[in-house]
């Protein structure tokens, strides 16, 4: 049976740490596939005109393309170059919910993310995507420090 690990990237150095951990873990597992995921935080709750919605949709598609090109594709290519089975996914949405949904859809067994070093009052009041993921995921979540 193939074990699938979903790695949540953030486009920063912390995502690289999550990739290194997942690669090391995958090398210890006989049959493993890595799913590299990048979620662009996106709120569906915006009240706009039809013209603004059309612009928003275009901007959304541009963001997906940019994230795929700059973050996900290089990560997947590097993993494949090192002999790993890997695919990549970019989505818009709430980070915690979307990573969990990707994991469920892809048949993932575990989600691997790296704790962001960002702080501030907003995170203390509302929580972080990582904390929300740990509390709501339907599979084990490994958080790299």
Are 33 and 85 in contact by the 8 Å Cβ rule? The answer is yes
- Give me 62's structure tokens: 């541009």
Provide the β-strand partners of residue 91: 39
Using CA atoms, how far residue 17 sits from 5, 75, 121, 134, in Å, is: 15, 12, 25, 18
pTM: 0.85
Structure tokens at 24: 């090391």
Which CATH number do you get for residue 35?
3.40.50.620
Q: Name beta bridge partners: 4.
A: 33
pLDDT in tens, the chain (145 residues): 889 999 999 877 778 899 999 999 999 998 999 999 999 986 655 566 677 767 777 888 899 999 999 999 999 999 999 999 999 999 998 999 999 999 999 999 999 998 765 554 444 434 588 888 999 899 999 998 8
Angle at alpha carbon of residue 9, lines to 6 and 13, rounded to 5°: 135
CA atoms of 85 and 55, how far apart (whole Å): 36
d(CA 122, CA 5): 30
Task: Enumerate residues 6+ apart whose C-beta is below 8 A from 14.
Answer: 114, 115, 116, 117, 144
Neighbours of 83 (CB within 10 A): 9
In the chain, the number of structural domains is: 1
Domain span holding position 84: 3-144
pLDDT of res. 117: 55
The answer to whether 44 touches 24, Cβ cutoff 8 Å, is no
């Amino acid at each position: 049976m193939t074990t699938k690990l979903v790695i949540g990237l953030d486009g920063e150095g912390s995502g690289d740490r999550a990739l290194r951990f997942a690669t090391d873990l995958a090398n210890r597992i006989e049959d493993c596939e890595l799913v590299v995921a990048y979620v662009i935080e996106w709120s569906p709750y915006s009240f706009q005109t039809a013209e603004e919605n059309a612009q928003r949709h275009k901007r959304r598609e541009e963001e997906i393309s940019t994230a795929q090109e700059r973050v996900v594709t290089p990560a997947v290519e590097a993993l494949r170059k090192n002999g790993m089975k890997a695919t990549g996914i970019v989505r818009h949405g709430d980070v915690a919910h979307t990573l969990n949904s990707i994991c469920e859809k892809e048949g993932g067994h575990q989600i691997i993310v790296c704790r962001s070093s960002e702080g501030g009052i907003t995170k203390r009041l509302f929580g972080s995507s990582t904390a929300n993921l740990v509390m709501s995921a339907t599979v084990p979540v490994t958080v790299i420090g």
